[in-house]
Structure 1
Amino acid sequence: MHNMLTKLSLVLILVLFISACDTNCISVTDEELEKIGKLIFINEGAGKVENLTTWNEGEEFASLGIGHFIWYPKDKEYRFYEIFPIAYEFIKSEGTNPPDWMEEMPVFDLPWDSREEFYSDFQTPQMVSLRQFLLETIPQQSLFMAGRLEKSLPKILEAAPEESHKHIKKQFFRVANSPMGIYVLVDYVNFKGEGILESERYNARGWGLLQVLEGMEGTEEGLPALQEFADGAERVLLRRVRNSPPERGEKRWIPGWKNRIKTYTSDEVAAYYVSGSQTKEPDYSNLMESIQRIYKDLVCGLR
Structure 2
Amino acid sequence: MQADAEAESDEPDVSITLEAAQMDWVGAQIFRNECAGQLDCLVHWNVGEKFPSLGIGHFIWYPRGVEERFVESFPALIQYMMQRQASVPEWLRELEPFDAPWPDREAYLASEDSVEMAELREFLAGTQGLQAEFIVRRAKQSLTDVVAAAPEEKQEAVRNRLKSLTATPGGIYALMDYVNFKGEGLSQMEQYHGQGWGLLQVLLAMEKQSPDQTALTRFRKAAADVLTRRAENAENPIERERWLEGWLKRLETYKEPAEMRAST
Give the alignment's TM-score, normalised by structure 1.
0.78
Q: Give 1:209 deviation, angstroms.
A: 0.5
Q: Determine if contact 1:180/1:270 at 8 Å carries over to the other structure.
A: no
Corresponding residue number in structure 2 for 1:67: 57
Residue equivalent to 2:5: none
| 2:131 paired residue number | 141
Aligned twin of 1:196: 186
Q: 1:220 to 1:129 in 2, by over 3 A?
A: same
Aligned length: 254
Once structures 1 and 2 are overlaid, which stretch shifts more, 180-189 or 257-266? 257-266
163 and 146 in structure 1: CA distance in 2 versus 1, 3 angstrom threshold:
same
Distance 1:27 1:210 in 2: 20
1:32 partnered with 2:22: yes
* Candidates 155, 159, 166, aligned match of 1:176: 166
1:157-172 alignment runs, 5 A limit: 157-172=147-162
Give me the whole-angstrom Cα distance separating, in 1, the residues matched to 2:16 and 2:189: 32
Contact 1:174–1:220 (8 Å) recurs in 2: no
Instruction: From 98, 114, 130, give the equivalent of 1:124.
Output: 114
Structure 1 residues 254 and 268: alpha-carbon distance in aligned structure 2, compared to 1, 3 A threshold: farther
- Indicate the residue corresponding to 1:94 in structure 2: 84
Q: Tell whether 2:73 aligns with 1:80.
A: no
Deviation at 1:157, TM superposition (A): 2.2
Please tell me the residue identity of whatever aligns with 2:163: F
Higher relative contact order (Cα pairs below 8 Å, separated by 6+ residues): 2
Question: How far has the Cα of 1:179 moved from its partner?
Answer: 4.7
Report whether the alignment pairs 1:230 with 2:243: no
Deviations 1:113-140 (A, max 9, x none): 1111111211211111111111111000
Unaligned runs of 5+ in 1: 1-19, 273-296, 299-303
| Alignment RMSD | 2.3
Greater helix percent: which structure?
1
The whole-number CA distance in structure 2 between the counterparts of 1:39 and 1:179 is 12
Change (3 A) 1:241 1:184: same
Aligned residue for 1:3? none
Aligned-partner Cα distance in 1 for 2:93–2:16: 38
Distance change in 2, residues 1:258/1:151 (3 Å): same
Amino acid at match of 1:187: D
Residues 186 and 200 in structure 2, CA contact (< 8 A), matched pair in contact too: yes
Q: CA deviation at 1:158?
A: 2.5
- The percentage of aligned residue pairs carrying the same residue is 39
TM-score by length of 2: 0.89
C-alpha distance in 2, partners of 1:165/1:51? 38
In 2, Cα distance between equivalents of 1:189 and 1:138: 17
What displacement does 1:257 show?
0.6
